[in-house]
Amino acid sequence: MSSKTEKVAAEEFLAMLLQYSRDFHYNHINFSVRLNRNPAYTRQVMNVMLKRISKKYGDDERLYVSMTADEATAILALINNLKEEMFANFSKKITWSTDLLVRESQEFGYRQIRERDQYNNLEFEILL
């Protein structure tokens, strides 16, 4: 058995996440990344929460996935590349195009909730 952690395919994960959130009318995707190197708290994890604020469909908040930070490095790198492209174009939203999406493109925005702190924790939100 291999001791290396399996990395999640970033494009497929993001496409499934965006498709699921659109199908079930979620309008906020919250990424909470705990990269805490504190010896007393060694768990390094990324949680993805879906949040819906809607009068028509009702308010809801649920955990979509929780994975170790090592498995999520490709996902974070993809989102960072999209964020950099958005900021380079001085726009509030970016359109991501891929064949993995049913509609082939998705527009979303990025909002930083919390900057990296002393323990390297990070929290941001994708707005649909």
Task: Indicate the pTM of the whole model.
Answer: 0.83
Q: Does a structural domain hold residue 79?
A: yes
Q: Does a structural domain hold residue 23?
A: yes
* Cα 128 to Cα 125: distance, rounded to the nearest angstrom: 10
**Domain membership of residue 61 as a residue range:** 10-127
Contact 72, 124 (CB under 8 A): no
Q: Does a structural domain hold residue 3?
A: no
CB count within 10 Å of CB 62 equals 11
Q: What is the domain count for the chain?
A: 1
Give the CATH number of the domain where residue 121 resides. 3.30.450
Q: Does a structural domain hold residue 4?
A: no
For residue 1, name the pLDDT band (cuts at 50, 70, 90).
very low
Q: Does a structural domain hold residue 2?
A: no
Alpha-helix residue ranges (DSSP H) falling in 1-125: 10-23, 73-88
pLDDT (0 to 100) of residue 115: 73
Q: Does a structural domain hold residue 87?
A: yes
pLDDT (0 to 100) of residue 33: 85
pLDDT (0 to 100) of residue 42: 59
Express each pLDDT in 53-101 by its tens digit: 999 999 999 999 999 878 888 998 999 899 898 888 888 888 888 888 8
Which token pair is 45?
């994890």
